[in-house]
Amino acid sequence: MSDNGHQQNGHENVPSRQRRRFEGISSRTYEHPADRSALVALRKLSGFDTVFKALSGLLPERSLRLLFLSDSVRVSDAQFAHLNTMLLDACHILDLEKVPPMYVAQDPQPNAMCIGLDEPIIVVTTGLVELLDEEEMRAVVGHEVGHALSGHAVYRTILLFLTNLALRVAWIPLGNIAIMAIVTALREWFRKSELSADRAGLLVGQDLKASMRGLMKLAGGNHLHEMNVDAFLEQAEEYEAGGDLRDSVLKILNTLPRTHPFTTVRAAELKKWAESRDYQRIMDGHYPRRTEDKETSVSDSFRQSAASYATDVKNSKDPLMKLVSDIAGGAGDLGGRVRRGFGGFAGGTPKDQSAPNDQTTPEDRTSPKDQPPRDSTPEDDD
């Protein structure tokens, strides 16, 4: 199954080094379980089907294509030939028969996207092209081809449209609330879909170090001599485990308006998957085929997603997730732990000195030391 080159549209693509090809690969192979469950939840959201059907016929996809055709550079043998080679290579490795058009758009902000309803379009900015080296860029192109293979472009396009629409109807009573509910759900799904596409990028590039470098550059710019992968991943560890319950809430609030997960989190998730048995089995040629997709049970996929979430919660070092895990496990003194989490208590809960025949609950026996000052609030602490 090694890749020795192939023909596509009359162009022979010979990769700079041999890479494994995944013939007939199903997108289920690399899709993050949270991606699938978030999409299931999105489709069950009240009003989503109505909005989706309406927008599918209204979105100006032809106008979108004409816009990029007229004001961007289309990648081909004659223009950005090295990107064209990467695109053909990525489609060959993931066995995507129809190669999506790719454009380079003038924008100093490093970015890439896969959009479109009937047929996906890949767009990369000049800022991204100038920032990344060949192997890093190969992972990004594979990332976007993964979006195309998974059918993510449709929902991404609707998200972009609804985000703009929400700004226009903000003055309409309740109108903005209804749209933002769907936008919020779309953003939650899209953040998870980015983890899936990162995996697809690794399957295409087959170079974990290059994927890590690319993510570091997105966070800190073209200063690799000043950065270190291990230290970068330590940031993800500190981000997840640090702080108290207030920090956990702030993390949620900081994440809600974003379409992408935080870069350190993406790097940590990708490294964990690359070191897993699942990834090794894929590289050994054992993966789901598209011919088996029709036989896949939706309920089985949802159960896998639920199991993945449960494992993540159980293993998470985040204070809020640890609290949720303890609640599920029936841990005692949860009330005290919540108070300490939000109040920033330095010490542990005083040992109960009550007599053995005292029938009051731990909450009823809370000492004055366990209570926050009457004139102090979280806002005062800031």
CA atoms within 13 A on the CB side of 338: 10
SS3 labels along the chain:
CEECCEEECCEEECCCCCEECCCCECHHHCCCHHHHHHHHHHHHCCCHHHHHHHHHHHCCHHHHHHHHHHHCEECCCCCCHHHHHHHHHHHHHCCCCCCCCEEEECCCCCCEEEECCCCCEEEEEHHHHHHCCHHHHHHHHHHHHHHHHHCHHHHHHHHHHHHHHHHHCCCCCCHHHHHHHHHHHHHHHHHHHHHHHHHHHHHHHCCHHHHHHHHHHHHHCCCHHHCCHHHHHHHHHHHHHCCCHHHHHHHHHHHCCCCCCCHHHHHHHHHHHHCCHHHHHHHCCCCCEHHHHHHCCHHHHHHHHHHHHHHHHHHCCCHHHHHHHHHHHCCCCHHHHHHHHHHCCCCCCCCCCCCCCCCCCCCCCCCHHHCCCCCCCHHHHC
User: Are β-strands 102-105 and 121-125 bridged in parallel, bridged antiparallel, or unpaired?
Assistant: parallel
Clarify whether 144 is annotated catalytic.
yes
Structure tokens at 354: 């009550």
Cβ contact 5:162 at 8 Å: no
Structure tokens at 255: 């994440």
Neighbouring-strand partners of residue 104? 73, 124
Catalytic residue among 144, 188, 194, 269: 144
Query: Which residues are part of the catalytic machinery?
Result: 144
